[in-house]
Structure 1
Amino acid sequence: MPFHDKTFSPLVFLIVVCIIAGLSPLEAREGAKTFDTDNDTGFYYTIKKGDTLWDLSQKFYNSQWDWPGLWEMNKEIKNPHWIYPGNTIRVYLKPEFKISAPEKPKQMAIETRFNYPAIHSTGFIKKEQVPALGTVLREQEGNIMMTTNDVVYIRPTGQPPFVTGHRYQIYSTSQVDQKIGTSRYKGVKHLLKADLEIIEVNTQYAAGKIKKAYRDVASGDLVMDFYPRQPTFEVDEHPDPVEAVLLCSEDDNVLVNDYRIAFINKGSEDNIRLGNIYTIKRGKETESVYDVKTGLDIAPVTSGKLIVLHTEPASATVMVLSSIQDIHPGDIVN
């Protein structure tokens, strides 16, 4: 073998090893999962310098020993010892990880984002009804219940007129009237049922095709302009305290379980913001917070956590993140 081969082979080998080692982090970064914000609901955390899955498990789940579950949730991480600043990982809010936000001092607030792609199908409460642009008359073939791809006829109000090809939403309303302390909260709940595209307009009626139905549409439902809202926002686990009440759930459930949509009686006028996380507690009127033996009121019992998805001036749409007790309309939110 030539002398120069013996001299330079180890050097070449060392260079190749260094190149491979240097490329590994880059390849890992490029392999980081890009989250589908149109379909993927949950919390996402951007890795910072010095983070490890061990430490993040302690931060989010209050247990360092849960790091394998965090790793399993993020299959793009090939080696749990290699996570890189700038990459985004999924943290929780999946059926297999019903874990509430941890209690941490304010200065330790965790920088997370929440994505809720279904926000445009989520209801809201306003003090007054959104003016209807029209009323659904019937389905083209006479079906009583209407759903995706059905063509529906609409009686327009004429103010403003329908526009062919424009996006609208079908909705229904119900009154909210709940006693809170010595006063009453009154508002109008808007239940969104479907996305609608107008395909024909004439002097007597408009025709529209249901592009996507969230619930069955019925004769008498109303039509409004598309109501754009923000699906992705920063999370604040330690907002300023608020004294609010859980008014009702979107579907008027007696029990408000994990991941259900509900409403509270405070909104942007009360400094309620998107992404705020609050604690739910049982109201003092319930038997669970009254000590029968002593006859004394005791502190409300913590029931769970919720996150704010949308705000109106005097109300907010929320999602229950986790529950450790039964949650009911009338419970305290703070």
Structure 2
Amino acid sequence: MYRILPKSMLSLFVLVLPLISFANSPLDIKKSAPQSYIVVKGDTLWDISAMYLASPWLWPRLWQVNEYIENPHLIYPGDKLNLVWRDGQPILTLKPMVKLSPKVRVLDKQAVPVVRDSLLLPYLEFDRLMTRTQLDQEARVLGSSHGKHFFASDELLYITGEQHQSKWGIFHPTETYTRGEHQVVLLKQVAWATLHSSDQQISGLQVTKQVQEILRDDIALPIIDPASSPLNSRFYPQPSPPEMTAQILGAVDGGQYLAKDQVVVIDQGTDDALVQGSTFELYQQASPITAFEGDSQLIQQAKENNLQLPNFRIGSLMVIRPYQYFSLALITESQQPVGLDAIVQAPVSP
């Protein structure tokens, strides 16, 4: 008799599959990796991983779990990392330079993030992908008392509804992305504001920073309290589910060619077992074989047979904010400009 696993157990099984599939693959330690390293302010977990590993997404296998740390992936400036070998396998151990209780270490705001907070936090404070139904429920920019179509940063801006949150972001809806029957709208932030006044139908916002013009009917979103969000900046890189592929649908900042530290939208999400830190590798499709007059018969035959040369690796990206059917992902490495046609696939075991 077969037993059907509960959905919660099945989801957990799917999430650990990437790590299980790489459990027996050898770790490739870089020749330049230091035997010991003291973490400094400004380091990121991805940079430290790349310092030791040719494949930074294998970080969970290199990192030695420390029983006295509640979250073993939290590392702090001043901590000393030591590369040791046990049973023929490389392991990184940690010696805290400042002894803190597990609770204090977890709550410490200075723990090394997986990537720079400036690249990550803007996508955790606000929803950047929304369905049309969700957009219809959000506050809208009504305008200013001057009746202008465009608003300057020193003007008082009015939005719909009685509001109580103190900090706000103003967004333009831009691209709409489709995956089967599912659609999301990408929001681009154009301004920051604070609550100035509020009554039963209208609230006033004072614009504090503006990077683009604010238009009537733009979206106003309150800043999400990190304490109430299941997402945060303290996660670690890990391989995406085996053999998974994804498509880059577009870039948050627009453009056809992208580079390191840019954020893109991909067509996979939590329903596909992606989590914060899920990593993909980027490949460019190889050029087709060409043949010219005078080339050998073997070259001519290879062209006629449409022989395909191997694709070549051009970088990597990491999921920083997964949604149900889509995700926002950060390009963590780019050896050349990354086009929207780049091949996105799960890391292959070394």
Which residue of structure 2 aligns with residue 291 of structure 1? 289
CA distance change for structure 1 residues 222 and 296 in 2, over 3 Å: closer, same or farther?
same
Give the match for residue 33 of structure 1.
none
CA contact (8 A) 1:267 1:315 kept: yes
Comparing 288-297 with 253-262, greater Cα deviation is found at 288-297
Shift of 1:309: 1.1
Question: Residue 249 of structure 1 corresponds to which residue in structure 2?
Answer: 251
Residue 103 of structure 1: which of 22, 33, 55 is its match? 55
Residues 249 and 265, structure 2, Cα contact 8 Å, conserved in 1: yes
RMSD: 3.8
The 1:130/1:120 distance shift into structure 2, 3 A limit, reads: farther
For residues 234-313 of structure 1, what are the structure 2 equivalents within 5 Å?
A: 234-241=235-242, 242-282=244-284, 284=285, 288-293=286-291, 294=303, 295-313=306-324
Inter-partner Cα distance in structure 2 for 1:89 and 1:205: 42
User: Shift of residue 291 of structure 1?
Assistant: 2.8
Tell me, yes or no, if structure 1 residue 232 matches structure 2 residue 185. no
Is 1:197 matched up with 2:202? Answer: no
CA contact (8 A) 2:267 2:326 kept: yes
Which residues of structure 1 form unaligned runs of 5+? 1-57, 68-80
Range moving further from structure 2, 273-282 or 102-111? 102-111
TM-score of the aligned structures, taking structure 2 as reference length: 0.57
Residues 153 and 205 of structure 1 are in contact (CA less than 8 Å); yes or no, is this contact kept in structure 2?
A: yes
Q: Is the 8 A contact 1:115 1:233 kept in 2?
A: no
| Change in 2 beyond 3 A, CA 1:323/1:141 | same
In the other structure, the counterpart of 2:143 is: 138
In structure 2, the residue matched to 1:173 is 173
The separation in 2 between residues aligned to 1:278 and 1:321, in whole angstroms, is 10
Tell me if 1:90 matches 2:43: yes
**Secondary structure in 2 matching 1:130:** helix
Residue matched to 2:330: 319
* Shift, 1:133, TM fit: 3.3
- The one-letter amino acid of 1:171's match is F
In structure 2, the gaps of 5 or more residues are 1-27, 64-72, 76-112, 292-302, 346-350
Larger radius of gyration: 1
Gap change, CA 1:146 and 1:258, over 3 Å in 2? farther
Aligned partners of 1:127 and 1:101: how far apart in 2?
39
Any conservation in 2 of the 1:173–1:188 contact (CA below 8 Å)?
Answer: yes
- Report the 3-state secondary structure (helix = DSSP H, G, I; strand = E; otherwise coil) of the residue aligned with 2:135: coil
Question: Structure 1 CA distance, aligned partners of 2:52 and 2:257?
Answer: 18
State the distance in 2 between where 1:143 and 1:135 align. Answer: 16
CA shift, 1:265, in A, is 0.6
Moved more, 258-267 or 108-117: 108-117
Summarize the Cα distance change of 1:238–1:205 in structure 2 as closer, same or farther, 3 Å threshold. Answer: closer
Measure how far apart 1:298 and its partner are. Answer: 3.4
How far residue 177 of structure 1 moved from its aligned partner, in angstroms, is 4.2
Range moving further from structure 2, 300-309 or 104-113: 104-113
Q: How many residues align?
A: 245
* Contact 1:101/1:305 (8 A) holds in 2: no
> What is the Cα deviation at residue 125 of structure 1?
2.7
- Whether the aligned pair in 2 keeps the contact of 1:238 and 1:276 (CA below 8 Å) is yes
Hey, what's the Cα distance between the residues in 1 that align with 2:138 and 2:209?
19
Supply the AA of the counterpart residue of 1:90.
D
2: CA distance, partners of 1:322 / 1:217? 33
Q: Which residue among 191, 202, 220 is the counterpart of 2:217? A: 220
The letter for the 2-side match of 1:168 is W
SS of match in other structure, 1:137: strand
